[in-house]
């Protein structure tokens, strides 16, 4: 699962720094400063799914969860809900007058919160995945690559 895909799985958790390689001269004129031709630009988060419950229901349907798989699926759903709550309450951006250091520090804190959520999701997903049929695993692989609503 790519970094962006895994982030979207946990309710649209997509923020970060993009490293754009270019010439320092080409970044002049109101563009962000560069260091040796590398520009840091804060990535814009993808909007979270409009409704986490809809995303969970869609995943349930796509995977064709059987009654025997309800318990491990419930653990995955609970982890997704908890991650969405954490993401919704976490500060996304530092204040308008934040320094570059403050911005990077805020990004690291947000990424650490996100990583903690992914670590909580992993054992639940592993347990569910172990219970899936080969066809369900293919559907899960596809769903988690695409993220919510994909």
Q: Cβ atoms within 10 A of the Cβ of 63, count?
A: 23
**pLDDT, tens digit only, all 150 positions of the chain:** 444 433 444 433 223 333 333 334 444 444 444 444 444 444 444 444 558 999 999 999 999 999 999 999 999 999 999 999 988 887 767 778 889 998 888 889 899 999 999 999 999 999 999 999 999 999 999 998 986 655
pLDDT value at residue 50: 56
Q: Which residues are CB-neighbours of 97 under 8 A, at least 6 positions away?
A: none
Closest Cα partner for 21 from 37, 32, 1? Answer: 37
Burial of 117 (0-12, 13-18, 19+ CB in 10 A): buried
């Amino acid at each position: 699962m790519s970094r962006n895909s895994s982030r979207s799985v946990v309710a649209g958790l997509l923020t970060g720094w993009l490293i754009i390689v270019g010439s320092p001269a080409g970044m002049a004129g109101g563009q962000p400063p560069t260091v040796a031709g590398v520009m840091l630009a804060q990535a814009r988060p993808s909007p979270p799914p409009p409704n986490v419950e809809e995303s969970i229901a869609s995943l349930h349907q796509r995977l064709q969860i059987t009654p025997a798989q309800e318990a491990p699926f419930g653990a995955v759903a609970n982890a997704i809900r908890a991650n969405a709550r954490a993401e919704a309450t976490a500060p996304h951006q530092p204040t308008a007058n934040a320094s570059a250091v403050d911005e990077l520090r805020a990004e690291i804190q947000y990424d650490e919160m996100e990583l903690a959520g992914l670590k909580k999701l992993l054992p639940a997903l592993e347990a569910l995945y172990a219970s899936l049929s080969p066809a369900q695993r293919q559907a899960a692989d596809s769903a988690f690559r695409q993220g919510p609503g994909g």
